[in-house]
Amino acid sequence: MILSRPPLRPLNEMTVTFPALSENERFARLAVSGFLSQLDPNISELSDIKTAVSEAVTNAIVHGYRDEPGEVILQVRIFSGGRIVIKIQDRGCGMEDIAKAMTPLYTTSPEDDRAGLGFTIMETFMEKVKVKSRQGKGTTVQLERTIQGKKRL
């Protein structure tokens, strides 16, 4: 008989949905920052996480919806040991080739002066970056990291 390990339950979580407008990228960073303050992250950790979230939310707005109306779903989950999982989801156009999209300097919007470094930045500041996407259905970016802050739930 094979026993499977039950899925870990988060100690705390937050989900917020907001319009896919570029001005809401700042809101997303502040929401994540405020929620994670309970873990007492250091300035470097918080800055890294906010930067990664900013890139993921910007990708959802600019590339997922191509500046068309839509919603971004932001979920932050805290697990024991300071482990955090952040998901940014859109229901936009999706990606044809995830591996290609994650290649440094690749962009679908060169005319908008996009550098194509969003995923590279996310991978630099987070321990894990997972991407799921279906054309015509949208994209989910999952960012994972352990906070070394002082407080533990």
**HSE toward the beta carbon, residue 32, CA cutoff 13 A:** 28
Q: Spot the catalytic one: 25, 29, 45, 59.
A: 59
Query: What pLDDT score does 66 carry?
Result: 85
Query: What pLDDT score does 113 carry?
Result: 55
Query: What pLDDT score does 107 carry?
Result: 62
Topology of domain 12-146, CATH: Heat Shock Protein 90 (3.30.565)
Domain extent listing, the chain: 12-146
Six token digits for residue 2: 């094979």
> pLDDT of 55-110, one tens digit each?
999 999 988 898 789 999 999 999 999 999 999 999 999 888 666 666 665 566 65
Can you say whether the dihedral through the CA atoms of 51, 122, 145, 44 is positive or negative?
negative
77 catalytic, yes or no?
A: no
114 catalytic, yes or no?
A: yes
127 catalytic, yes or no?
A: no
**Which uninterrupted H or E stretch holds 26?**
helix 24-36
What is the end-to-end Cα distance of the chain in Å, rounded? 34
Q: Spot the catalytic one: 25, 45, 55, 145.
A: 55
Query: What pLDDT score does 152 carry?
Result: 45
Give the range with max mean pLDDT: 4-18, 106-120, 121-135: 121-135
For 75-92, letters b (16+ CB in 10 Å) and e give: bbbbbeebbbbbbbbbbb
Separation of alpha carbons 116 and 132, rounded Å: 18
pLDDT tier, 48 (very low <50, low <70, confident <90, very high otherwise): very high
Q: Helices 43-59 and 118-125 meet at what angle, rounded to 10?
A: 150
